[in-house]
Amino acid sequence: MSLSLNQKTINRATLPEAVEACARAGIEAIGVWREPLADAGLERGAKLVRDAGLRVSSLCRGGFLTGDDREAALADNRRAIDEAAALGTDTLVLVVGGLPPGSRDLAGARERVADGIAVLAPYAGAAGVRLALEPMHPIYCADRGVLSTLDQALDLAARFPAEQVGVVVDTFHVWWDPRLDAAIARAAGRIASYQVCDWITPLPPDALLARGLPGDGHIDFRTLGAAVSAAGYRGDVEVEIFNADVWAAPIDDVVADVVRRYQEHVTP
């Protein structure tokens, strides 16, 4: 496994700036987000990353399959699959979506996700892209992602070929799960992405930005990473941090800190 910088960690950087920051810090892989990729232009962005010799560990993100406009959501996800293929990554991270506005039908929302994945999986497979289902911390169940545990994501992924649908293991989202060890072992062959991010307390006021750099919080990354490795995962390890303070800091400082934290807290 080796370090990949998820672009969200340096949220205000353009794609060219992010690529340059990786090069300066000697980071060999990057997790790209669709919005800055669109800003750079798909072809130009893809060339930029390729010319810099960077691996693209994932494209973030598709999903949001629970809303009422199903066709629009599917069309957007097909575009995201095409973008991932053009960018040369085999991994498209999916945040599946929360409850539709005004709905309390959690089981129904989860069915919508399964229905959407059934439509998209063959399309992704044909493009050489794997849909990476991201179970999200239950704090986001209502408004972001109704996939709440790794087991639940694996239950859904298991309906499809492993080359079409995998899962994301993001420490922030799954660290609390009493069944995590068994779920990670069960995920062998299905882990499409491994992301690290710490759980900090007290939780910052904005729950969407409540994430810390490894070492700032409560997660034991070595133990968790060993389980992911024992499940056969050999891909990149994305450091992905949503945090207002991190986003406000100078980009090169953040990247240097990411490298240091990775070495101190994440590497085996």
Among residues 25, 74, 139, 259, which is the contact residue for its own copies, using CB under 8 A?
139
In whole angstroms, the minimum distance from the beta carbon of 89 to its own copies comes to 29
Q: Which of 83, 177, 236, 257 binds its own copies (CB under 8 A)?
A: 177
Residue closer to its own copies by CB (options 25, 106) is 106
Residue 141 parent element (H or E):
none
80 binds its own copies (CB under 8 A): no
What tokens were used for 20?
């340059």
Scanning 114-122, 123-131, 185-193, 197-205 for contacts with its own copies by CB under 8 A, the matching segment is: 197-205
Between the alpha carbon of residue 71 and those of residues 25, 33, 35, 164, 263, the distances in Å are 42, 22, 21, 20, 44
- C-alpha 35/C-alpha 14 separation (Å) is 9
**Of 137 and 190, which CB lies nearer to its own copies in the complex structure?**
137
Start-to-end C-alpha separation, the chain = 9
Identify which of residues 15 and 109 has a Cβ nearer to its own copies in the complex.
109
| Residue 197 to residue 172: CA distance in whole angstroms | 5
Site stretch for its own copies (CB under 8 A), options 66-74, 86-94, 103-111, 124-132: 103-111
Q: What number of chain residues touch its own copies (CB under 8 A)? A: 31
Does 115 bind its own copies (CB under 8 A)? Our answer is no
Please tell me whether residue 178 binds its own copies under the rule CB under 8 A. yes
Q: Which of 12, 44, 50, 218 binds its own copies (CB under 8 A)?
A: 218
Among positions 99, 227, 241, 258, the unique one binding its own copies when judged by CB under 8 A: 99
Q: State yes or no: residue 190 binds its own copies (CB under 8 A).
A: no
Under the binding rule (CB under 8 A), the answer on residue 149 touching its own copies is: yes
**Residue 167's beta-bridge partner residues?**
133, 191
176 binds its own copies (CB under 8 A): yes
Buried b (16+ CB within 10 A) or exposed e, 127-159: bebbbbbbbbbebbbeebbbbbbbbbbbebbee
Region from 4-12, 81-89, 145-153, 240-248 binding its own copies, contact rule CB under 8 A:
145-153
Distance CA 162, CA 142 (A): 28
Say which residues have a Cβ less than 8 Å from residue 261's Cβ, sequence separation at least 6: 213, 214, 215, 239
- Tell me if residue 171 falls in helix, strand or coil: helix
Q: b/e map of 46-63 (b: 16 or more CB within 10 Å)? A: bebbeeeebbbbbbbbbb
Nearest approach, Cβ of 152 to its own copies (angstroms)?
Answer: 4
Judged by CB under 8 A, does residue 68 bind its own copies?
A: no
Return d(Cα 40, Cα 14) in angstroms, integer.
8
**Contacting residue, 220, 252, 253, 264, with its own copies by CB under 8 A:** 220
Which residues contact its own copies by CB under 8 A?
99, 104-106, 110, 137-139, 141-143, 148-149, 151-152, 175-179, 199, 201-203, 205-207, 217-220
